[in-house]
């Protein structure tokens, strides 16, 4: 008998994956958590029926949400990740030699626990001594840590349920205060094909707070449409004008210095959307 995971995040469209084995499924305090082993993408983390990351394509998302801001900032030392309990963002952040501390603020401790057990190739950096794990409310944490981080990365699930409060102008104002005087913020901001209103509204809200606001794109096979947006807000540094020639070379599979610049070149329909 064939077993299939059917993701129906987007109304009137589904993505399906043939499953070898369900490794764990449980109801946590916040969500339905599953880790399954699939034929096409290997093991994947699924929250409330929506694919979050897979061992096959995780590098695209995690490299782009981290290396763009970290190479834009000239000397990032302290980094906060809100969400991201799988540890993939932490893995990429710690490739940067200037980083002295990463705080992972994840509301659901079960995500961290089960990813450590079943997704070690993604989560291994959570054991690094530079990484501090805080299990709790990211909004509250940001509010309580003013002028504390050079880079804040909002590695959240989609904008409903437990993550709904992580999208919107009031939270971006809190992030602005959480950042140092030349800090940078990045968030995953959904697909312009299926959720253009989310892309537009997040960009508008961020632009009302940050003097430099830019949208960039990446191709992620397991996310709806495969075409994904990220929004960057910066107090001082423009990611399109940064001099990357003297930055450290790190081991990546997707991100390059050339792609850093190119990812901000947007198709016209997206330019029109956020104009």
240 is in an annotated binding site: no
What's the CA gap between 110 and 31, in Å, rounded?
Answer: 10
**Does residue 85 have a known ligand-binding role?**
no
128 is in an annotated binding site: no
Q: Is 156 annotated as a binding residue?
A: yes
Q: Rg (Cα) of the chain, in Å, rounded?
A: 18
Is 260 annotated as a binding-site member? no
32 has binding-site annotation: no
138 known ligand binder: yes
Please give the helix or strand (H or E) that residue 214 lies within, else none.
strand 212-219
Annotated active-site residue 150? The verdict is no
Strands 212-219 and 227-234: antiparallel
Other residues' Cβ atoms within 10 Å of the Cβ of residue 26: 11
Catalytic residue among 57, 108, 150, 155: 155
Which of 88, 131, 91, 112 has the alpha carbon at shortest distance from 220?
A: 88
**Contact indicator for 176, 209 with CB cutoff of 8 Å:** yes
Walk across the sheet containing 78-83 and list its strands.
131-135, 101-106, 78-83, 149-155, 179-188, 227-234, 212-219
**HSE-CB for 89 with a 13 A CA cutoff:** 31
CB contact at 8 A, 108 and 31 = yes
The reply, when asked if residue 137 is annotated as ligand binding, is yes
Beta bridge pairs of residue 187: 154, 231
Query: How far does Cα 251 stand from its chain's mean position?
Result: 19
Please indicate if the annotation marks 272 as binding a ligand.
no
Whether residue 249 is annotated as binding a ligand: the answer is: no
Instruction: Tell me if 215 sits within 8 A of 264, measured CB to CB.
Output: yes
Known binding residues for S-methyl-5'-thioadenosine are: 31, 106, 137-138
List residues with catalytic annotation. 155
Known binding residues for spermidine are: 62, 86, 155-158
Known binding residues are: 31, 62, 86, 106, 137-138, 155-158
């Amino acid at each position: 008998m064939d077993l299939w995971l059917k993701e129906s995040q987007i109304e009137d469209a589904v993505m399906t994956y043939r499953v070898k084995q369900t490794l764990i499924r449980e109801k946590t305090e916040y969500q339905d958590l599953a880790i399954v082993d699939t034929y096409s993408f290997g093991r994947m983390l699924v929250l409330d029926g929506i694919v979050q990351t897979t061992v096959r394509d995780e590098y695209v998302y995690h490299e782009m949400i981290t290396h763009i801001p970290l190479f834009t900032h000239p000397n990032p030392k302290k980094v906060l990740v809100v969400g991201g309990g799988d540890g993939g963002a932490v893995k990429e952040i710690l490739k940067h030699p200037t980083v002295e501390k990463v705080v992972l603020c994840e509301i659901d401790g079960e995500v961290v626990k089960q990813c450590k057990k079943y997704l070690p190739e993604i989560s291994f950096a959570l054991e690094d001594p530079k990484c501090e794990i805080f299990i709790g409310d990211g909004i509250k944490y940001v509010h309580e840590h003013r002028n504390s981080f050079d880079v804040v990365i909002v590695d959240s699930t989609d904008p409903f349920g437990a993550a709904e409060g992580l999208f919107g102008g009031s939270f971006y104002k809190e992030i602005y205060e959480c950042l140092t005087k030349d800090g940078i913020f990045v968030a995953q901001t959904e697909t312009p094909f299926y959720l253009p209103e989310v892309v537009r509204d997040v960009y508008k809200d961020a632009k009302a707070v940050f003097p430099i606001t830019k949208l960039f794109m990446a191709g992620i096979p397991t996310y709806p449409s495969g075409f994904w947006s990220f929004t960057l807000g910066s107090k001082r540094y423009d990611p399109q004008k940064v001099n990357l020639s003297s930055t450290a070379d790190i081991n990546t599979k997707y991100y390059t210095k050339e792609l850093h610049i190119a990812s901000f070149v947007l198709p016209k329909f997206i330019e029109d959307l956020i104009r």
